[in-house]
């Protein structure tokens, strides 16, 4: 009898401890992240400023998600990165856009792992480029052969809206949350590096900038109608800023982009820019890079009163010791609300383009700036005085 009571007590104690462990694990796995909002040219979380560093990773939803996403998000958490930009599409194979384990459940898993590590996501809805099919796959599926058909043909736009609506109203099969109610999603992004031309059809510059601007206006308005909880961005590189004194064609309007007009749209919450000095014919990587950073921050923050995110940024490995910190310092000085590198990978992923960063690279090149950026967060914002808080 005594032994039995002892056994029962020990067994009950073990059961209680296991229950606590399970509950603790579950709570961590389903922790609720609050919605980040926009107030004037600041991001706000719980009525306090929210600045961040982050990274990009395009393959989380298709390449061994449970393993690769776990390592990538663990690395983000370790280094204090708190926003990840990733793809929420697989246009090349429409079977990936269904609701099964090889479809949208993959995005469910990415979101759930991100939430577990306290990482928010910018979810990009399509690609200007042919990788993963991109918007030109939609064009082909409907029997057209020009890039801009994606932005102008009613039946294509209707189909794309259907996909947007599917995502917004989706219930995550792992967390049980509707995407519309999940603060893990930082923002919906209309596309990656959208332009009036791509790399799958024949192109001929210059392009009409109103085509893309009208489409961005229509789609951002549609998302806000369906989902008032989340922010919306364009995902642009920042091309088309003709008043800048430069002979570099990234400032011209020929690509069909007008940075100022697109960022100024009512339902676009913040501006995005990308920066690849090694590829953009810069005469001086630092000097021309700083000009790009300053000119776009001037438009976004001072003229439009909106936040700006350096959404993709990288240099070749040989330039990281000198040019990398100089450009990051300029981003800090010009009050970039978010600074995101391209790209952070797990260690099974090779460095194909000399732009890939790993855990140890963050320690060497990025941690200092993450610390400085995080120190800007947490300052009280009086939201009642903010006329543009959504």
Q: Is 42 helix (H, G, I), strand (E, B) or coil?
A: strand
Q: Is 314 a catalytic residue?
A: no
Q: Is 333 a catalytic residue?
A: no
| Chain center to CA of 142 | 28
| Chain center to CA of 218 | 20
Catalytic hit among 311, 312, 314, 323: 312
Residue 25 burial (CB < 10 Å; 0-12/13-18/19+)? exposed
Catalytic hit among 109, 136, 193, 237: 193
Residue closest to 323 by CA, chosen among 310, 334, 314, 311: 314
Instruction: State the Cα angle at 34 between 29 and 39, rounded to 5°.
Output: 155
Residue closest to 155 by CA, chosen among 168, 169, 138: 138
Paired tokens of 204: 């001929």
- Asked if 95 and 374 count as a contact pair (C-beta separation under 8 A), the reply is no
Residue written as tokens 């438009």? 299
Order across the sheet with 185-189: list the strands.
231-233, 185-189, 120-124, 83-87, 52-56, 338-341, 308-313, 271-275
- Asked if 55 and 76 count as a contact pair (C-beta separation under 8 A), the reply is yes
Paired tokens of 81: 């990165």
Question: Which residue numbers are catalytic?
Answer: 193, 312
């Amino acid at each position: 009898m005594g032994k039995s009571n002892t056994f029962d007590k020990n067994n009950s104690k073990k059961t209680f401890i296991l229950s606590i462990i399970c509950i603790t694990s579950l709570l961590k796995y389903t922790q609720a992240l609050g919605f980040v909002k926009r107030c004037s040219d600041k991001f706000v979380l719980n009525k306090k400023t929210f600045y961040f560093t982050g990274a990009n990773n395009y393959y989380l939803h298709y390449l061994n998600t449970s393993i690769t996403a776990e390592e990538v998000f663990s690395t983000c958490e370790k280094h204090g990165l708190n926003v990840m930009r990733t793809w929420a599409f697989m246009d090349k194979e429409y079977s990936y856009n269904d609701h099964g384990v090889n479809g949208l459940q993959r995005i469910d898993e990415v979101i759930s792992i991100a939430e577990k590590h306290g990482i928010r996501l910018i979810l990009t809805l399509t690609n200007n480029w042919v990788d993963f099919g991109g918007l030109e796959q939609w064009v082909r599926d409907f029997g057209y052969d020009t890039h801009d058909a994606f932005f102008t043909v009613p039946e294509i736009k209707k189909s794309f809206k259907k996909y947007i609506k599917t995502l917004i109203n989706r219930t995550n099969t792992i967390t049980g949350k509707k995407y519309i109610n999940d603060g893990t999603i930082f923002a919906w992004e209309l596309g990656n590096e959208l332009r009036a031309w791509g790399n799958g059809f024949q192109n001929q510059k210059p392009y009409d900038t109103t085509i893309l601007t009208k489409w961005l206006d229509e789609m951002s308005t549609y998302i806000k109608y369906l989902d008032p909880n989340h922010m919306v961005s364009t995902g642009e590189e920042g091309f088309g800023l003709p008043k800048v004194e430069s002979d570099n064609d990234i400032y011209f309007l020929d690509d069909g982009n007008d940075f100022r007009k697109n960022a100024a749209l009512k339902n676009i919450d913040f501006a995005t820019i990308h920066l690849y000095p090694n590829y953009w014919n810069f005469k001086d990587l630092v000097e021309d890079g700083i000009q790009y950073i300053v000119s776009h921050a001037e438009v976004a923050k001072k003229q439009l009163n909106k936040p700006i995110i350096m959404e993709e940024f990288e240099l070749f490995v040989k330039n990281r010791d000198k040019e990398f910190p100089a450009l990051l310092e300029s981003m800090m000085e010009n009050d970039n609300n978010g600074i995101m590198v391209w790209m952070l990978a797990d260690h099974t992923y090779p460095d194909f383009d000399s732009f890939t960063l790993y855990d140890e690279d963050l320690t060497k090149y990025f941690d200092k700036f993450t610390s400085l950026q995080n120190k800007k967060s947490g300052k009280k914002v009086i939201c009642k005085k903010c006329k543009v808080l959504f």
